[in-house]
């Protein structure tokens, strides 16, 4: 307490002022802080190195190439993981409670907007009757969902949902059917009148 | 008027009327702009706040918010600060009273015009450059009026040398003019509509060269100039370091202009441009912090005043927010960080740190400091000003914290994959939307607190000014002797400029030249650096003298600043504009729009869909899994304006075409929640009742042809027929799906456009160079 307060090294009083005064404003001419200079020079060095690595000497992989490599790698993993899926397996899955609840969850969030939660069809076709457009066997459905039918507005869900989820959804749909049931192939789907709300008045 | 006689003592009365006018205008428009901000923030959590009314939807109000706070709030604040400080720093009254009045009223008319046209859906469809072409011309003219008034005042100055604030004002005026004009080059199709001359990747590059530097030279450099005047005045302390001012000014204006492409990382913009954007953004960190240091360290010996003085409180917080935002900016420009942060609320948090913190608090501090000096009465309530400070600070922190959480959550969810990177972890986009709903409410609350604080400022200044005596400042000066002028030549032909030029040329040569040229440039670089370091050793005083002489010569100073800000733009834009159009399309070329699709596209732009939906699939696994193959250069070359977007409040639409049937879009546009439960997108009922404007198409197609889109010759009748046929086809298909709508309604044109998105043809290198023959008449 009795000791006098230590003078900080950086007292403004020691600094020399530049002679000029602008509307009462004066300026010191302090040295540039060293850490600040280091960040400036460091960023410059990094910039040169980065440019050299990716552009001047083309050592680094360009982003599009890197992406393609990454996608190829994951495609290989997917191919390895994909076990044999068959009609038989999917029918079997359609009795598994756990599979069905998972399939229902995916169906309700992804498919129900077009096919309705009860699968009776809205924008997309009815899935509980025995009329089918692209084949009615479990493996046919799996293919339709995975690859989509772009001409009719069915998006390919393979890259979005993945094999596992699609198989669960197929199992969930097939829980509404049984093996050996009659399959009638029809050209397309027309929503029944009254299902779709009328357009607004003019 | 300065006279030839030496040492005459004259009294100068400053003209502070424009300062008062601009200050009041800034406060008024600030409240409006922030209020619109609170409204659109609310809309993101509560879709009903769009009121099913076209001119109140998010897509139309968001441009109004950004334009109002940038050009009306900060613009008017900047003019007030520049007019006040420049007169005093150069010891001369503003040159022309008439020009000041034209500047003020012209700018306010422009703002009113913007506030009317934007909600009506009259827009150019480019961010912060939405205003339609007649208003663009008015902006350019008023800016010239401002420039003439400013430089004329400099010419009549009684203070021979230029203070650092003036340097920043000069850089602002020159650069904003350059950016604004180039990014608004368009060809009109009517009095309210035009197409930009650049398309696709070119338009994207020019847009972000402009957009990024609107932040740099409209929201940063003039505010730094204002800081350099008002902060030392309020603190009554000398500025920390003159040489830091020099280094950070020149590095800032030179480097800033290159950084624009960091808004386009991982897109189909050529990679060399992306890399330039990234490395120059990193190099910008130190120059930006130079400004922060000079601001904060000026307070050495005055920190005790910060406790009591609301003005200094605002300044300190403002400069601190500036430091945070300019650290965060380079961070977000790193390619891998950007992969997470881009298109999310992280960007919104970042800009509001700058906007609410740096700009808004600098404005508040300046207004509280100015009011007693402009109206000769002490501030009505310093207590209320302190209250404003705390309300505003807490408001910003709530705002930013919620947006960081929201942005990072969204970025992580949308990019997440599982099962060895083969499947998306969250396949439904809507999951990312519903997960951040609460955060949207919190953000709106933070914004509202900030607005309430700002309304307190309006009240406080109103109470201070009403009934008070209006005063103009004055000073007594000795008119200085005419000093020897440097001349333009003297400005260029001297050691510092020559060395710097050589260094830049050699560095650029190393970067782009192959083999021996590159080696020669490295040699040149080292030699120049060696000679330069020796000459610095030998004549430090010489360099200093040269700079001091430069400061007494406004014309060479302005010329050098102009060159410094030109270089980055030239290097990036010229090659892109020259090379692209024909051959460089990466194997895919967009199929031009049919007339109906073009009409639909203009509806998409009118409704401001780009404010929430991007059209660019990045070179990232998450993007490709969710939206399909990454976007190629050629897939948007005929898009005038480009619509890559900068935010994904909704999903990307680059490959939307053909994904769903027409009826999906029909029901989705009428009630998005019927298709996508939890969606925050507004309903668009008017698209089902309004008729598509096909009468404008002949003019539009003629202009498209002029700017390089390969439309074959078509008569007006043929255009109408093409529209009718395509619309009838879509309407018929909709009818079979139970969605009946007359074919001439806007929804049909919009569906036609949406179904075209992502349609491109494969081209070989050979056919690519000749688009005219490769593309048939789109009819």
Instruction: Give the tens place of pLDDT for each residue, B697-739.
Output: 999 999 999 998 999 999 999 999 999 999 999 999 999 888 9
Which of A9, A13, A28 has the most B C-beta neighbours within 10 Å, making it the best mutation to test the interface with B?
A: A28
Between the ranges A98-112, B400-414, B465-479, where is the mean pLDDT highest? B400-414
Rounded Cα distance between B137 and B142, Å, is: 9
Portion 159-188 of A in contact with B at CB < 8 A: 159-162, 164-165
Longest dimension (CA), chain A: 103
The mean per-residue pLDDT over the stretch B674-698 comes to 95
CA distances from B496 to B180, B250, B399 (A): 30, 12, 46
Q: How far is B664 from chain A (nearest CA, A)?
A: 7
Cα A179 from chain centre: 35
Would you state the pLDDT for residue A5? 45
The mean per-residue pLDDT over the stretch B352-368 comes to 98
pLDDT at B337 over 80: yes
Rounded Cα distance between B219 and B242, Å, is: 23
Q: Which residues pair with B3 in a beta bridge?
A: none
Residue extents of the structural domains in chain B? 14-468, 487-552, 588-631+649-774
- φ/ψ of residue A178, rounded to 5: -145, 155
The mean per-residue pLDDT over the stretch B740-745 comes to 94
- φ/ψ of residue B758, rounded to 5: 90, 0
The mean per-residue pLDDT over the stretch A113-129 comes to 87
Rounded Cα distance between B732 and B715, Å, is: 26
Cβ-Cβ contacts under 8 Å, B88 against chain A: 23
Portion 8-47 of A in contact with B at CB < 8 A: 10-13, 15, 17-18, 20, 22-33, 36-37, 39-40, 43-44, 46-47
Q: How confident is the model at residue B574 (pLDDT cuts 50, 70, 90)?
A: confident
Strands (E), B569-674: 588-590
CB contact under 8 A, B421 and A75: no
Structure tokens at A121: 């069809």
A66: closest chain B residue by CA: B619
The mean per-residue pLDDT over the stretch B621-644 comes to 93
Structure tokens at B725: 């046929």
Q: Which of A46, A56, A109 sits opposite B518 (nearest CB)?
A: A56
Rounded Cα distance between B106 and A182, Å, is: 77
Q: Strand, coil or helix: what is A149?
A: strand
**Start-end of CATH 1.10.760.10 domains in chain A:** 85-185
Would you state the pLDDT for residue A14? 58
Asked whether B133 and B181 are in contact (CB, 8 A), the reply is no
CB contact under 8 A, A67 and B620: yes
pLDDT at A2 over 50: no
* Contact status of B515 with chain A (Cβ, < 8 Å): no
- φ/ψ of residue B184, rounded to 5: -110, 10
pLDDT at B767 over 60: no
Portion 46-65 of A in contact with B at CB < 8 A: 46-47, 50-51, 54-56, 62-64
* Contact status of A73 with chain B (Cβ, < 8 Å): yes
CB contact under 8 A, A160 and B289: no
Architecture of domain A85-185: Orthogonal Bundle (1.10)
Residues 6+ apart with CB under 8 A from B104: B18, B21, B22, B25, B79
Asked whether B199 and B123 are in contact (CB, 8 A), the reply is no
pLDDT at A8 over 80: no
pLDDT in tens, B528-563: 888 877 776 556 677 788 888 888 888 889 999 999
In terms of pLDDT, which residue wins out, A145 or B389?
B389
Q: Which residues pair with B194 in a beta bridge?
A: B188
Would you state the pLDDT for residue A195? 52
Cα B495 from chain centre: 36
For the entire predicted model, the pTM comes to 0.88
| Domain B14-468: assigned CATH number | 1.20.210.10
CB contact under 8 A, A71 and B237: no
Rounded Cα distance between B222 and B75, Å, is: 10
Q: How far is A179 from chain B (nearest CA, A)?
A: 30
What ipTM, to 2 d.p.? Answer: 0.90
Would you state the pLDDT for residue B468? 86
Sort strands A131-132 and A184-185 into parallel, antiparallel or unpaired: parallel
Q: How confident is the model at residue A12 (pLDDT cuts 50, 70, 90)?
A: low
Percent of chain B having pLDDT more than 90?
77
Structure tokens at A40: 């400036």
Q: Which residues pair with B479 in a beta bridge?
A: B8
Would you state the pLDDT for residue B3? 43
Cβ-Cβ contacts under 8 Å, A190 against chain B: 736-737
Sort strands B588-590 and B474-479 into parallel, antiparallel or unpaired: unpaired
The mean per-residue pLDDT over the stretch B119-148 comes to 97
Which of B52, B231, B422 has the most A C-beta neighbours within 10 Å, making it the best mutation to test the interface with A?
A: B422
Would you state the pLDDT for residue A123? 83
Rounded Cα distance between B488 and B556, Å, is: 5
Rounded Cα distance between B495 and B539, Å, is: 11
CA distances from A9 to A15, A30, B301 (A): 11, 13, 13
CB contact under 8 A, A44 and B283: yes
Q: Strand, coil or helix: what is B241?
A: strand
Which of A17, A199, A200, A202 has the most B C-beta neighbours within 10 Å, making it the best mutation to test the interface with B?
A: A199
Range name among A14-18, A61-65, B80-84 with the lowest pLDDT average? A14-18
* Contact status of A82 with chain B (Cβ, < 8 Å): no
Would you state the pLDDT for residue B529? 84
pLDDT in tens, B433-451: 999 999 999 999 999 999 9
Cβ-Cβ contacts under 8 Å, B670 against chain A: 200
pLDDT at B148 over 90: yes
Asked whether B29 and B72 are in contact (CB, 8 A), the reply is yes
Q: Which of B300, B510, B685 sits opposite A200 (nearest CB)?
A: B685
Beta-carbon contacts below 8 Å between A and B:
199
pLDDT in tens, B167-221: 999 999 999 999 999 999 999 999 999 999 999 999 999 999 999 998 899 999 9
* B20 closest CA partner among B315, B456, B461: B461
Asked whether B257 and B289 are in contact (CB, 8 A), the reply is no
Architecture of domain B588-631+649-774: Orthogonal Bundle (1.10)
* Contact status of B478 with chain A (Cβ, < 8 Å): no
Rounded Cα distance between A114 and A121, Å, is: 7
Buried b (16+ CB within 10 A) or exposed e, B173-207: bbbbbbbbeebbebeebeebbbbbbbbbbbbbbbb
Residue with tokens 């302005």: B558
Cα B373 from chain centre: 33
CB contact under 8 A, A47 and B283: yes
Q: How many CA atoms lie within 13 A of A36 on its CB side?
A: 17
Range name among B3-12, B291-300, B440-449, B600-609 with the lowest pLDDT average? B3-12
Q: Which of A56, A64, A73 sits opposite B510 (nearest CB)?
A: A56
Would you state the pLDDT for residue A149? 85
Rounded Cα distance between B73 and B68, Å, is: 6
Strands (E), chain A: 131-132, 184-185
* B86 closest CA partner among B6, B190, B158: B158
pLDDT in tens, B489-531: 766 777 778 888 888 888 888 877 777 888 888 888 888 888 8
The mean per-residue pLDDT over the stretch A141-160 comes to 85
* Contact status of B519 with chain A (Cβ, < 8 Å): no
Would you state the pLDDT for residue B775? 38
Structure tokens at A169: 């959804």
Would you state the pLDDT for residue B255? 95
The mean per-residue pLDDT over the stretch A49-69 comes to 90
Rounded Cα distance between B1 and B156, Å, is: 7
Would you state the pLDDT for residue A3? 45
pLDDT at B770 over 60: no
Asked whether A190 and A125 are in contact (CB, 8 A), the reply is no
Q: How far is B534 from chain A (nearest CA, A)?
A: 19
In terms of pLDDT, which residue wins out, B521 or B353?
B353
The mean per-residue pLDDT over the stretch B104-114 comes to 98
Rounded Cα distance between B679 and B410, Å, is: 15
Cβ-Cβ contacts under 8 Å, B279 against chain A: 43, 46-47, 50-51
Asked whether B85 and B229 are in contact (CB, 8 A), the reply is yes
Q: How confident is the model at residue A22 (pLDDT cuts 50, 70, 90)?
A: very high
Residues 6+ apart with CB under 8 A from B350: B325, B328, B329, B332
Range name among A98-107, B203-212, B683-692 with the lowest pLDDT average? A98-107
Report the run of H or E that residue B432 belongs to, with start and end. helix B429-434
Structure tokens at B435: 């997960």
The whole-chain average pLDDT of chain B stands at 91
pLDDT at B581 over 70: no
The mean per-residue pLDDT over the stretch A162-188 comes to 86
Which of A41, A55, A57, A123 has the most B C-beta neighbours within 10 Å, making it the best mutation to test the interface with B?
A: A123
- φ/ψ of residue A198, rounded to 5: -70, 155
Crossing angle of helices B164-183 and B133-155, rounded to 10°: 150
* Contact status of B282 with chain A (Cβ, < 8 Å): yes
Other CB atoms within 10 Å distance of the CB of residue B5? 8
pLDDT at B482 over 70: no
């Amino acid at each position: 307490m009795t000791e006098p307060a230590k003078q900080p090294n950086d007292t403004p009083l020691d600094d020399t002022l530049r002679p000029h005064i602008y509307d009462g404003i004066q300026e010191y001419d302090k040295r540039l802080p060293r850490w600040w200079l280091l960040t400036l020079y460091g960023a410059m060095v990094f910039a040169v190195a980065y440019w050299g690595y990716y552009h001047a000497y083309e050592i680094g992989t360009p982003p599009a190439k890197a992406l393609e490599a990454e996608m190829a790698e994951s495609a290989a993993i997917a191919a390895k993981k994909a076990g044999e899926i068959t009609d038989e397996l999917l029918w079997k899955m359609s009795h598994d409670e756990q599979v069905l609840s998972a399939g229902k969850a995916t169906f309700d969030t992804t498919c129900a907007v077009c096919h309705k939660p009860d699968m009776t069809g809205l924008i997309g076709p009815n899935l509980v009757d025995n009329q089918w457009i692209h084949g009615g066997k479990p493996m046919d459905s799996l293919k339709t969902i995975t690859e989509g039918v772009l001409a009719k507005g069915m998006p390919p869900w393979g890259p979005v949902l993945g094999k596992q989820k699609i198989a669960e959804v197929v199992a969930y749909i097939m829980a509404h059917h049984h093996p050996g049931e009659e399959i009638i192939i029809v050209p397309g789907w027309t929503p029944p009148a009254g299902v779709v709300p009328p357009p607004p008045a003019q | 008027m300065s006279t030839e006689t030496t040492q005459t003592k004259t009294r100068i009365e400053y003209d502070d009327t424009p300062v008062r006018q601009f200050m009041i205008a800034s406060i008024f428009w600030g409240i409006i702009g922030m209020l619109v901000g609170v409204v659109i923030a609310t809309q993101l959590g509560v879709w009903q706040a769009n009121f099913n009314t076209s001119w109140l939807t998010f897509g139309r109000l968001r441009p109004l918010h950004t334009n109002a706070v940038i050009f009306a709030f900060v613009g008017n604040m900047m003019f007030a600060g520049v007019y006040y400080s420049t007169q005093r720093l150069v010891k001369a009254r503003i040159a022309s009273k008439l020009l000041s009045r034209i500047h003020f009223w012209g700018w306010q008319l422009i703002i009113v015009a913007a506030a009317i046209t934007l909600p009506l859906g009259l827009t150019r469809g480019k961010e912060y450059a939405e205003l339609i072409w007649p208003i663009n011309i008015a902006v350019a003219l008023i800016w010239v009026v401002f420039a003439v008034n400013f430089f004329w005042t400099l010419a009549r100055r009684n203070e021979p040398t230029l203070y650092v604030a003036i340097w920043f004002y000069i850089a602002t005026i020159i650069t904003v003019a350059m950016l604004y004009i180039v990014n608004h080059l368009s060809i009109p199709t009517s009095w309210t509509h035009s197409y930009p001359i650049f398309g696709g990747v070119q338009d994207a590059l020019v847009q972000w060269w402009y957009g990024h530097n609107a932040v740099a030279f409209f929201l940063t450099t003039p505010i730094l100039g204002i800081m350099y005047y008002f902060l030392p005045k309020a603190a009554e302390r000398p500025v920390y370091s003159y040489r830091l001012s020099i280094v950070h000014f020149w590095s800032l204006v030179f480097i800033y202009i290159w950084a624009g492409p960091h808004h386009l990382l991982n897109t189909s913009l050529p990679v060399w441009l992306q890399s330039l954007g990234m490395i120059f953004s990193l190099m910008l960190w130190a120059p930006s912090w130079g400004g922060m240091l000079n601001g904060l360290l000026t307070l050495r010996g005055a920190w005790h005043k910060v406790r009591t003085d609301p003005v200094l409180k605002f300044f300190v917080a403002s400069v601190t927010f500036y430091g945070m935002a300019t650290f965060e900016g380079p961070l977000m420009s790193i390619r891998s960080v950007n992969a997470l942060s881009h298109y999310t609320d992280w960007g919104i948090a970042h800009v509001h740190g700058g906007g609410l913190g740096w700009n808004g608090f600098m404005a508040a501090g300046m207004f509280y400091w100015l009011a007693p000096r402009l109206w000769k009465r002490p501030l009505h309530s310093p207590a209320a000003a302190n209250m404003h400070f705390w309300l505003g600070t807490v408001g910003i922190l709530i705002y930013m914290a919620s947006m960081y959480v929201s942005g990072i959550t969204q970025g992580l969810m949308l990019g997440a994959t599982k099962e060895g990177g083969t499947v998306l972890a969250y396949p439904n986009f809507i999951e990312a939307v519903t997960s951040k709903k609460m955060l949207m409410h919190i953000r709106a609350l933070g914004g509202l607190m900030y607005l309430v604080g700002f309304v307190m400022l309006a009240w406080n200044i109103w109470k201070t000014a009403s009934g008070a005596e209006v005063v103009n400042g004055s000073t007594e000066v000795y008119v200085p002797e005419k000093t020897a002028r440097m001349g333009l030549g003297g400005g260029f032909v001297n050691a510092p400029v020559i060395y710097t030029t050589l260094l830049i040329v050699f560095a650029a040569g190393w970067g782009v030249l192959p083999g021996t040229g590159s080696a020669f440039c490295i040699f040149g670089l080292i030699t120049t650096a060696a000679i330069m370091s020796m000459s610095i050793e030998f004549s430090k005083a010489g360099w200093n003298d040269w700079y001091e002489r430069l400061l007494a010569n406004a014309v060479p100073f302005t010329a050098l600043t102009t060159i410094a800000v030109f270089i980055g733009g030239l290097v990036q834009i010229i090659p892109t504009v020259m090379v692209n159009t024909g051959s460089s399309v990466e194997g895919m070329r967009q199929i031009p729009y049919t007339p109906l699709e073009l009409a639909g596209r203009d509806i998409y732009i009118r409704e401001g869909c780009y404010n929430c939906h991007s059209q660019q699939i990045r070179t990232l696994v998450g993007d490709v899994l969710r939206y399909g193959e990454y976007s190629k250069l050629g897939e948007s070359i005929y898009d005038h304006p480009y619509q890559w977007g900068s935010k994904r409040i909704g999903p990307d639409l680059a490959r939307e075409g053909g994904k769903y049937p027409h009826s999906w879009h029909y029901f989705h546009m009428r009630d998005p929640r019927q298709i996508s439960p939890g969606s925050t997108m507004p309903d668009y009922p008017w698209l089902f009742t309004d008729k598509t404007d096909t009468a404008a198409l002949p003019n539009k197609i003629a202009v498209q042809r002029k700017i390089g889109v390969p439309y074959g010759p078509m008569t007006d009748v043929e255009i109408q027929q093409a529209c009718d046929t395509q619309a009838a086809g879509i309407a018929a298909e909709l009818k079979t799906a139970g969605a009946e709508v007359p074919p001439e309604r806007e929804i049909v044109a919009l569906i036609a456009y949406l179904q075209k998105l992502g349609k491109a043809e494969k081209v070989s290198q050979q056919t690519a160079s000749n688009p005219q023959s490769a593309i048939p008449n789109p009819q």
